[in-house]
Structure 1
């Protein structure tokens, strides 16, 4: 493949936003007739690179060549005109229009100013059958078909505008196995016809099944370009998360894992949700920290949302404590003593225009109801206790939360849930975007509460060493499957990394 010239070449691409270097020195090549996977964790720069390539953002520095000619992509429409088309995870077509209308929208064949509907329907049907082996009624509204069919219609539209480069951005995240298989058959056919396909996905199995070449980004920087057949999975994972294999033996653990569970607090049996996470079984002990490890998109948050009842399981069972109570909604979860600290602290956590005090007492006040207001003096006492306990800065309870640093905002959310004295606290990325000192404080707090107050935790983090450091057991997820549960002596960064890279399904 290297003997031919790349159809697309991006060289030394830089893109900066106020206070953030989104891309720094990125190189990317795409050859005709190949599927090229773009890989990287959260914040790696994948989305920014695609937006540069599709004309959403202008580059600050670097060059883009298409078919050996230097180009400057002015807008998404310009990108399409020069042959660069994108199909997004959320299909950006018009669901109320027919399939045929969606394929030809803005380019309808006309005669004397009138749209030739029969011609549109004939050409749409011919295109779908001929190129994509898809025999459907093109006069039906797009919304009457599955997401998989809608994506194929979006691909058909790009083919009709003579795309040279097709970008597929997380195309399989909403598809079932048969639909993925159908999409892959089409991708293989298009590849054989010489189309260059840029494939963005979180699913490792799919990367190794479909791609010829892989480019890895990390923290907005270029890690490398590799032929897929020459890159072992464990090396791919270690390059994505930024831990070379020889560096993984091992940071000292903050706590020693325990063997076995003294008392079961929660038990999930065959719990799953179609399109979200495959069925899994997991027991959580009283006073135990269970870490969830896996790459972005592996199913960690989806698993946590099922345990909290934020998403409804469509198979399996979930029992809590001796009562055997079930959890089907966040309200039931909170009543059972389960709290959830979301990774989206801006949208699901803090109320920006309230004070530290008001944010801390929010959940407690909600549980008491409108007519049992917590007295102001009591509110102040509670706020001061938790400000001191968690070292929230500045220590003024009347300070607006929006004016705090990210780390201190996170502590305020933690304080809110700790005040509820939950039996199980689910922490989803509790230390993302905060300084090293605050990270250490939160880790120590989790360990001391689990040991001294027998509080149980689900601890989710993209930072492998952090999960290893605080967890008694670790459930490893990959491609929305729980593939391994490790305890005590098994737990090390190297073992977790190996499991993420490849392993068999198991339960714990």
Structure 2
């Protein structure tokens, strides 16, 4: 049960980096035994503030109070000693050590002659996981554990260090709904034990699932505070970006392209991914956004990848502009004007250690080559124009993609496909891990593509963007398209009913 006593207070925290004021006079109060949401767009200052709290950065101005006493953290070790632990989105585990070895790294229990007492270490780790209510195999390296299990190892490590305040930075970004629910149960258990938590998430529905209070940052300053029971998603979005959520979606064309007789850019009259599996069909018109909706594991991405040859299909028929085409691999799909923006932009869509320029022009260097050499001037001009069209925000084109926000990374991927000028684009979870402001920009880009006569197939787990963006929606359940909705029937209730009941009334 929450304790109204204050555990953490930040007063007037400011931080400046060369050329940018990252934070301006931030105030924040965290009570013992509460889950406190920290919201804001990418670039709002959340990460900088948490790094100051954890001693990774030092504030230029302001004070940190723990249990009423002012503290100064010269490094992460000072924060840990004060009971503050952070679980970053990118885990800090040693992949080839097991969970117990990761938890007690650098402070292993020892026996005589300084030998590591592995039995004692594993007993202590097992006790931690029993308290968290999770099962972790202590015999295998953590690289063989699921993402959720690795998350629990990080939490166990922080608790073993006696952390009384946990910072959870996008902890559900790579979890399935069931794994996220398990994490929330653990968070509630920790709250009952008096552990305070700062919870950072772009999934606003999660805030109402597990949090007690909310603080919002905008442009490095406080934008507002609220009790969870006294606010809603619309109000939070307005605090974060200064506009209502409905204004994030550009208007849909009227009448819808398929109803207005737009030509069919892509037809799939039959596709069966596995022998004995369901046979599906769909089509995509010029100027249209077709949504693939359904629960995780319902077969949305698998069908799209099977169609374009990235995954195998038992049998399929695909027509482009009315003519049959053979799509055995993504290269063939590309040659027929079909491009894919993959679900994992960092792993499949970008080379993050390379520059913006290189990532944008990577697949088009051939047209800038003369006598075997790349004409750098022409390449730079193309990259600059494409980056301008999608609104990439960065110091220059030579900036490493790894340093960009999630929204700007996604824009770089889109810029590359604009350079290809493909007619059919598949956007797989296009706004995952992106703040609401960047989402609105991505939505505007997608609608601009359709105004140019292109077609977009959007696969998304976020019902608001499916409803707000799509002209038609194919709903999946158990590997089958069980309903195709359009017009007024595109609303979250009908989509969820079909997705959860397999189309049954």
Q: If the TM-score is normalised by the length of the shorter chain, which range does it land in?
A: 0.5 to 0.7
Tell me, yes or no, if structure 1 residue 18 matches structure 2 residue 18.
Answer: yes
- CA shift, 1:475, in A, is 7.3
Corresponding residue for residue 456 of structure 1: 455
CA distance in 2, matches of 1:89, 1:315: 38
Larger CA deviation: 327-336 vs 119-128: 327-336
Corresponding residue for residue 369 of structure 1: none
Query: SS in structure 2 opposite 1:7?
Result: strand
Query: SS in structure 2 opposite 1:107?
Result: coil
Corresponding residue for residue 62 of structure 1: 62
Corresponding residue for residue 169 of structure 2: 169
Corresponding residue for residue 202 of structure 1: 202
CA distance in 2, matches of 1:313, 1:292: 22
Are the aligned partners of 1:290 and 1:473 in contact in 2 as well (CA < 8 Å)? Answer: yes
- CA shift, 1:487, in A, is 7.2
In the superposition, relative to structure 1, how do residues 87 and 385 fare at CA in structure 2: closer, same or farther (>3 Å)?
A: closer
Corresponding residue for residue 105 of structure 1: 105
CA distance in 2, matches of 1:93, 1:485: 44
1:466-503 deviations in whole A, cap 9, x for unaligned? x999x8848799xxxx9x99978999xxx9xxx79x98
Corresponding residue for residue 192 of structure 2: 192
In the superposition, relative to structure 1, how do residues 137 and 13 fare at CA in structure 2: closer, same or farther (>3 Å)?
A: same
In the superposition, relative to structure 1, how do residues 143 and 253 fare at CA in structure 2: closer, same or farther (>3 Å)?
A: closer
- CA shift, 1:32, in A, is 1.0
CA distance in 1, matches of 2:309, 2:52: 35
CA distance in 2, matches of 1:229, 1:316: 52
Match runs of 1:355-370 below 5 Å: 359=361, 362=364, 365=367
- CA shift, 1:223, in A, is 1.6
Corresponding residue for residue 118 of structure 1: 119
Query: SS in structure 1 opposite 2:59?
Result: coil
Query: SS in structure 2 opposite 1:115?
Result: coil
Matched residues, number: 442
CA distance in 2, matches of 1:185, 1:485: 35
CA distance in 2, matches of 1:308, 1:348: 28
Are the aligned partners of 2:284 and 2:290 in contact in 1 as well (CA < 8 Å)? Answer: no
1:311-340 deviations in whole A, cap 9, x for unaligned? 869999995634565767542331220246
- CA shift, 1:200, in A, is 1.8
1:36-76 deviations in whole A, cap 9, x for unaligned? 12222322222222222222211122221111111122212
Are the aligned partners of 2:2 and 2:34 in contact in 1 as well (CA < 8 Å)? Answer: no
Corresponding residue for residue 218 of structure 2: 218
In the superposition, relative to structure 1, how do residues 392 and 96 fare at CA in structure 2: closer, same or farther (>3 Å)?
A: closer
- CA shift, 1:151, in A, is 2.0
Corresponding residue for residue 435 of structure 1: none
Query: SS in structure 1 opposite 2:6?
Result: coil
CA distance in 1, matches of 2:147, 2:51: 23
Residue 256 (structure 2) aligned to one of 231, 255, 258: 258
Are the aligned partners of 1:390 and 1:411 in contact in 2 as well (CA < 8 Å)? Answer: no
CA distance in 2, matches of 1:101, 1:250: 46
- CA shift, 1:7, in A, is 0.5
1:199-243 deviations in whole A, cap 9, x for unaligned? 122333322111111222233232211111111222223333320
Match runs of 1:33-432 below 5 Å: 33-110=33-110, 111-129=112-130, 131-244=131-244, 258=256, 260-261=258-259, 262=261, 263-266=263-266, 285-290=284-289, 321=320, 322-323=322-323, 325=325, 330-339=330-339, 347=351, 359=361, 362=364, 365=367, 402=398, 420-425=420-425
CA distance in 1, matches of 2:307, 2:269: 15
Are the aligned partners of 2:35 and 2:212 in contact in 1 as well (CA < 8 Å)? Answer: yes
- CA shift, 1:84, in A, is 0.6
Query: SS in structure 2 opposite 1:208?
Result: helix
CA distance in 2, matches of 1:349, 1:282: 40
Gaps of 5+ in 1: 272-280, 295-301, 367-372, 394-399, 433-437, 461-466
CA distance in 1, matches of 2:9, 2:310: 42
| RMSD, matched Cα | 5.7
CA distance in 1, matches of 2:337, 2:59: 50
Are the aligned partners of 1:360 and 1:412 in contact in 2 as well (CA < 8 Å)? Answer: no
CA distance in 1, matches of 2:137, 2:446: 57
Are the aligned partners of 1:73 and 1:79 in contact in 2 as well (CA < 8 Å)? Answer: yes
- CA shift, 1:77, in A, is 2.1
